[in-house]
Structure 1
């Protein structure tokens, strides 16, 4: 875990600003010891709404995924951080992506009983889909997919198929 991950998780805005200003660490750095979480995942999970805004303003991508396909929205939904979900949605971050098991953030919020988040996410999913359609029509590029995770998932799937074939 980098110093930036720790500061984002702790909600230490001054430290995060200092690290990012001095370019000591990328805001998109993945923590391999913690399922490839980024500082944005930590800020979302801890409910640091302002930190989410600060990280994205400094270039943090809103769409990175953990090893299990969780976006920062999944992390916020798990702990019922409605204000973080609202912040992510207002920044056009993807809030309706499925994880490796097919669960969207709305399902995670439902599992943990965060009904206010469920209500918000159901509405926000529809708004997000409409925005993506409009953006596609107008040629607006969106940062809503994690190519690195997609590649890792593809390699993992190929390895699983290969492993099954060897055992047969």
Structure 2
């Protein structure tokens, strides 16, 4: 078991004090993608489990909400799937891209719809509009945003070569629109 897997596990079980000690030591990367769990980061686990204070702690130590799994799921996708409205609200406040499509074009709002999470779906309806408006304002004012996973962009190109029909699906325009509005690298966060 690697140290990174221990961090993922501590987050998943919700041991806030242990996670804080691990992060304070500086030996643990809060952005590590666990390949055994489809490239989930500790932030993905916090979103899945609904650990709101853990999300704030991870972000305070540099966790990036734009990092995605092997199919393009952000923490917001997992929160929408499991009905974690509080998590979605925190991610929205932090200007995470809660309208990001996965590899198949599904946004967190669509995931909430699929899994019958009506409160999340209702929240995301308005939050998507606000997210897009903030992104536009940030672009106009030259503010950096933390909304692009560079590793994922490369992987998506590889997947597109393996599954070319996926690049021609009905969600292609949605994906291209989102990609075009996210030109700032993920590592340049601007959080209030």
- 1:112-160 superposed Cα distances (whole Å, 9 cap, x missing partner): 1110000100100000000000000110000101110110111222344
Aligned counterparts, 1:22-37, within 5 A: 22-37=25-40
Which sections of structure 2, spanning at least 5 residues, go unmatched? Answer: 165-192
Which sections of structure 1, spanning at least 5 residues, go unmatched? Answer: 162-168
- 1:61-82 superposed Cα distances (whole Å, 9 cap, x missing partner): 0100100100000010010000
User: Structure 1 residues 113, 7: closer, same or farther in 2, change over 3 A?
Assistant: same
Aligned residue number for residue 120 of structure 2: 117
Give the TM-score taking structure 2 as reference length.
0.81
Alignment RMSD, CA only?
Answer: 1.0
Q: Does 2:164 match 1:147?
A: no
Aligned residue number for residue 38 of structure 1: 41
User: Structure 1 residues 94, 15: closer, same or farther in 2, change over 3 A?
Assistant: same
Q: How many residues align?
A: 161
CA distance in 1, matches of 2:76, 2:22: 24
CA distance in 2, matches of 1:46, 1:26: 20
CA distance in 2, matches of 1:52, 1:88: 9
CA distance in 2, matches of 1:104, 1:126: 13
CA distance in 1, matches of 2:22, 2:38: 22
CA distance in 2, matches of 1:49, 1:131: 23
Match of 1:69 among 56, 67, 72: 72
Aligned residue number for residue 179 of structure 2: none
Aligned residue number for residue 190 of structure 2: none
Q: Does 2:29 match 1:19?
A: no
Runs of 4+ residues over 3 Å off in structure 1: none
What displacement does 1:44 show? 0.1
CA distance in 2, matches of 1:156, 1:124: 29
